[in-house]
Structure 1
Amino acid sequence: MVSYELTVYTGKEASAITVNSIYIKLVGTKGESDRKWLNILPIFWGSEVTYCVDCEHTLGQLILIEVDKRTWFLSDAWLPEKVEITTPEGDVYTFPVYCWISDSETHRFREGKALKIYEEENPLGLYARKQELLQRRKEYRWDEYDSRLPRTIKADGVGGLPDKNKFSWTKTIQFYITGFYGKIGNCLKKLTENRNNWKNLDEIHNVLSCRTSNLYDYIRQHWKEDDFFGYQYLNGINPILIRRCKTLPPNFPVTDDMVFFPEGLKLSNELGQGNIYLCDYKNLDGLPANTVLGKQQYLTAPLVLFHKRPDDKLMPIAIQLKQTPGEDNPIFLPTDSTHDWLTAKIFVRNADFTELQLNTHLLRTHLLAEAFAVSLQRNLPMVHPLYKLLIPHTRYTLQINTIGRGGLIGPTGLVALNAGSGGKATTQFMAKSMSDITYTSLCIPDDINERDMHDVPNYYYRDDGLKIWYTMYKFVQGVLEYYYKCDDDVLGDSELQTYIGDIFKNGFLSNTEGGFPQSFTTVTEMVKFVTMVMFTCSCQHAAVNNGMFDYAGWMPNLPPTMQCPPPTEKGTTTEATILATLPPVCVTAESKTTVWLLSRPPSDFVTLGHYPEDHFTEETPRQLQRKFKVELEVLTTDFKMRNMDMEIPYTYLIPNSVENSITI
């Protein structure tokens, strides 16, 4: 008779407890143990309980464990983190679990050493691998929100999601309390019922006036200024739209005579010198604007020209609010009346609200991250090295997206009810944006080069993003090259090839013109793609989400809708027309409450580079994780030191403020 010592680690969440019976079986190369009943007393959260499993003979090399839970009284879910087993010979095996067990089915968990499918030497391991994926493909099925958008997970609301993808009890409570607290403050002031227009701009601060930030206060004071208007396109929450302009678009007929430059500079010369930049909101052209509170709203598709001055400030020099030039579509200039120029800029900021919320934020981070997460679950077993590397970057994404589809862009969502781009315009705009996404645009080094933004001064999104990208790339490269020694290892991994093919089909909709990989032929290709996935699910989302309240909290800076059409001639705007054009009180209240909620860090925030779950058990990848964390800490210090001398600190890509995954 020999004895195996088991230590069972239960999750630290309050709801991880179980009062039901847990059974375990050990399976090795030379046999298996009897099914062992573990708990005499309830298993509590955060517990580490040791048991003994006696066997008639040694089991050889341990391959897997089988775990099941039998419900006797109350139905509950148990969250085991891992099981450590010490053999009679003194060897220690670790079996990562990190998933909820709520049913009475038998669940198999592999020993922690990462294995590719062609490395499986034991038929039991191969069988367990295939059974795991068969079950996962039943749980993680593709669904279609709109045929022109990335596929989503098929689930009947949050309750229909697999348990492992649901919020923790702590996060659930915080999420709904935060939303309720934001709304109750406005309800007490009767703002959510007030359909009137604002009487003056200063009144707008009354919405959630107790909720501010240093940058919010700065924006409230400086939002009208041209240099801050230009600054936002580099370091605000939509920093990926602007590009260098060497030749003016034919539908934007700005001439030398129109624009004024200091020191006698000319537009034609500045174009050639690379000092002119463009934002083109062309995908908004022709969209049917929403009806809000029974009133027709208005959308524009502006073109905005910027000039990098000798003092390195980026200044707007011309705005055309519609794509087709004509007498009823004047080009607004800084030399126009104060109200004309401010009105033009407000319409541009409204267009940026739509571009940010539906494309830069929702489509390019949330929806793509969901496709990455679903494909990971459908195609890679827990024992696969890429699953171990990427699973931390999918945490909570499926639930927050399921909530968002109903609560934000669904028929009764906040965008549908309060934004000018709600209703039919939402999916039409997102479909246009989807067709424009390229692989290059998702990889920040390539995107910076493609937009020719490599040398524009004071572009901190670029500077910080590139430093994190290259740090992340080196980490990913180290881990994957440990498991894939040559390109043939990549070509021979059938699960890996199915994974990327599934993303190409259901995430990128088989877009052969976007440059997306359909398969991996080299280690280098795989490393770049995995870096993109990790960056998108952490840093890119942080860059376009974490400043939501800072920049959109002061509604005139990013208004969700416009109640009046854009001016068709100059000299017709006043402060009264601006107030009539901006959203009414109740829409402002809903908008500010929403962006406040979206900007709140969760209480169970997991910082980029922190891996509280031990999916890897080999020392090399664990060492690389520790090194990655240290390098990110160095960047955190560097970015904070730089910010100390800045009037507007750029904080959204400070690594210790970036979450590992999309959870809000």
Structure 2
Amino acid sequence: MTSEVELKLKGLLDCKNSWKKLDDIRMAFWFYRSPVAEYVSRHWDEDAFFGYQYLNGVNPVIIRKCVEMPAKFPVTHEMVAGSLGKHTTLDNELKKGTIFLIDCWILEGVPATKLNGSLQYISAPLCLLHLTRLGEMIPIAIQLTQQPGAESPIFLPTDSEWDWALAKFWVRNSTFYIHEVLTHLLSTHLVVEAFILATLHHLPMCHPIYKLLIPHFRYTLHINVLGRVNLFAPEGLIEQATGTGFHGVSHLLAKGLSTLTYSTLCLPDDLRDRGVESLPNYYYKDDALKLWEAIESFVSGIVALYYRSDCCVKEDSELQAWVAEIFDKCFFGRESSGNFDYGAWMPNYPSSMRKPPPKSKGSVTFRDILDTLPDVSTTCSTLLILWLLSREPGDRRPLGCYPDEHFTEERAKQVISAFQKRLAQITKEIEERNKRLLLPYHYLSPPEIENSTSI
């Protein structure tokens, strides 16, 4: 029996009402329970866990160091003094590099859709976070729009319980859109597709770069076609479960593509640009850098066997045509172009908001929270989407697994072997680190990484 049938039997997919209480969401949560998902369901409303997720949660690539408060987010020391503690000021913490920012500016102007006959709402919030002496990342101020003013108050942890909770819901909702549409759909599936098509158009099977890349393209076109048909097409599942709908996704993709550069796809450059290269307890960063260095060494080792100089690269007409197509189709020729565990518990990762952002503080009730979060049907539809997106192929191949022999030269085989040994070492290092963590971070452990974009 499929999960969708089970949900229908419970009458949840057809229920258009608000949840009566948040704990009722467990009725739709039972079919996928992992230790991490259970942890999320218990701690999702804690400020420390809210901040932790921007380091090691679903989308750990949007947090950046804040060295100066932007004019559009006029937070003062008096507002956050209670969060910063004694003997310090906001200016001092900015200088020390312990203030961080989530800025969802890219969502401004993205149109919302209707779900179950009701208009949904999208905002573009800003969230200020503080790295405490204990190493916790704590939210200390939230503004729900990009325009400060009387009708866009700054929400604080010292506000009423439901004011602060609703403000955090808006930030998590915005994170949902940015992750699913930009980090996931655009920067993995669609960008990789551009590389795949360029490879198939210009590199013959005997070309060393074809041999290097082709194992990492397995099933990607297949899953992208399925996504276009079942998820992102008009009237598809995205239209039924998220506040953006198909039109909003298209609008957001266009904005995201206009900002895409080679640097945003280059991990060390991205970490440096966001000012987070030395951020503690950032396990995503720690593990990703080890993988980046291992992959870079592997790729450089293979490429060096076939290209002895820049001149060799320049004179390879097939390779030049490959690069030109990627530059044109993926970056539009611009010279400046340089998971389910956390989403299964809907309050941690709402896919839509049914009421507009509040324009004042002090009047939000728990009923307002329930009437703003996704209704029962939308919650269940979103769970199904996340479940479908997270399912792995039955014949999965982890990173560095090459059962199909493309390189026959002994030196190339030695480079591959060295890469696989380094991945095994990284796996052991992550396992040892995780033994010391209350909530293990395993998402970038090599056995957990698919060799290609296939889910």
TM-score (norm 1): 0.67
Matched, 1:218 2:39: yes
Report what 1:84 is aligned to: none
- Residue from 337, 359, 371 that aligns with 1:568: 359
Any idea what SS the aligned residue of 1:304 has?
A: strand
- Residue from 391, 395, 420 that aligns with 1:604: 395
- Residue from 579, 583, 589 that aligns with 2:370: 579
Residue 424 of structure 1 deviates from its aligned partner by 2.1
Superimposed CA distance per residue, residues 278-332 of structure 1 (whole angstroms, 9 cap, x where no aligned partner): 1100011122211111100011100000111111111100000000001111000
Matched, 1:495 2:318: yes
> Any residues of structure 2 matched to 1:4-43 within 5 Å, and which?
none
Matched, 1:478 2:301: yes
- Residue 244 of structure 1 aligns with an amino acid whose one-letter code is K
Matched, 1:232 2:232: no
Residue 208 of structure 1 deviates from its aligned partner by 4.1
Matched, 1:506 2:326: no
- Residue from 423, 442, 445 that aligns with 1:651: 442
- Residue from 6, 13, 19 that aligns with 1:198: 19
Residue 216 of structure 1 deviates from its aligned partner by 0.7
Superimposed CA distance per residue, residues 166-210 of structure 1 (whole angstroms, 9 cap, x where no aligned partner): xxxxxxxxxxxxxx7221221121211111110000000110413
Cα 1:660–1:512 change in 2 (3 A) is: same
Any idea what SS the aligned residue of 1:317 has?
A: strand
> Any residues of structure 2 matched to 1:443-458 within 5 Å, and which?
443-458=266-281
Any idea what SS the aligned residue of 1:192 has?
A: coil
Of structures 1 and 2, the one scoring higher in RCO (CA 8 A, sep 6+) is: 2
Any idea what SS the aligned residue of 1:367 has?
A: helix
Matched, 1:468 2:291: yes
Report what 1:55 is aligned to: none
C-alpha separation between the residues in 2 aligned to 1:502 and 1:320? 41
Superimposed CA distance per residue, residues 456-512 of structure 1 (whole angstroms, 9 cap, x where no aligned partner): 110011100000100111111111101111121111100000000010011111122
Say whether the 8 Å CA contact 1:256–1:267 is kept in structure 2.
yes
Gapped runs of 5+ residues in structure 2? none
Backbone CA RMSD of aligned residues: 1.0
Report what 2:196 is aligned to: 373
Say whether the 8 Å CA contact 1:370–1:398 is kept in structure 2.
yes
Aligned pairs, number? 453
Any idea what SS the aligned residue of 1:626 has?
A: helix
Say whether the 8 Å CA contact 2:29–2:344 is kept in structure 1.
no
Matched, 1:635 2:426: yes
Superimposed CA distance per residue, residues 413-443 of structure 1 (whole angstroms, 9 cap, x where no aligned partner): 1212221111322111111111111211111
Residue 264 of structure 1 deviates from its aligned partner by 3.0
- Residue 422 of structure 1 aligns with an amino acid whose one-letter code is G
Say whether the 8 Å CA contact 2:261–2:331 is kept in structure 1.
no
- Residue from 334, 346, 356 that aligns with 1:555: 346
Report what 2:164 is aligned to: 341
Identify, as 1 or 2, the structure richer in helix. Answer: 2
Matched, 1:620 2:411: yes
C-alpha separation between the residues in 2 aligned to 1:606 and 1:181? 25
Say whether the 8 Å CA contact 1:281–1:351 is kept in structure 2.
yes
Gapped runs of 5+ residues in structure 1? 1-179, 516-547
- Residue 68 of structure 2 aligns with an amino acid whose one-letter code is T
- Residue 362 of structure 2 aligns with an amino acid whose one-letter code is G
> Any residues of structure 2 matched to 1:387-402 within 5 Å, and which?
387-402=210-225
- Residue 44 of structure 2 aligns with an amino acid whose one-letter code is W
Superimposed CA distance per residue, residues 17-36 of structure 1 (whole angstroms, 9 cap, x where no aligned partner): xxxxxxxxxxxxxxxxxxxx
Any idea what SS the aligned residue of 1:341 has?
A: helix
- Residue 241 of structure 1 aligns with an amino acid whose one-letter code is I
Report what 2:379 is aligned to: 588
Residue 600 of structure 1 deviates from its aligned partner by 2.5
- Residue 292 of structure 2 aligns with an amino acid whose one-letter code is W
- Residue 433 of structure 1 aligns with an amino acid whose one-letter code is G
Matched, 1:384 2:207: yes
TM-score (norm 2): 0.98
C-alpha separation between the residues in 2 aligned to 1:479 and 1:499? 18
- Residue from 141, 144, 154 that aligns with 1:321: 144
C-alpha separation between the residues in 2 aligned to 1:644 and 1:595? 28
- Residue 216 of structure 1 aligns with an amino acid whose one-letter code is A
Which 10-residue stretch deviates more, 226-235 or 410-419?
410-419
C-alpha separation between the residues in 2 aligned to 1:587 and 1:273? 43
Matched, 1:432 2:255: yes
Matched, 1:459 2:282: yes
C-alpha separation between the residues in 1 aligned to 2:358 and 2:167? 8
Say whether the 8 Å CA contact 1:308–1:315 is kept in structure 2.
yes
C-alpha separation between the residues in 2 aligned to 1:265 and 1:203? 43
Identify, as 1 or 2, the structure richer in strand. Answer: 1
- Residue 410 of structure 2 aligns with an amino acid whose one-letter code is E
C-alpha separation between the residues in 2 aligned to 1:637 and 1:349? 33
Bigger radius of gyration? 1
Q: Percent identity?
A: 46
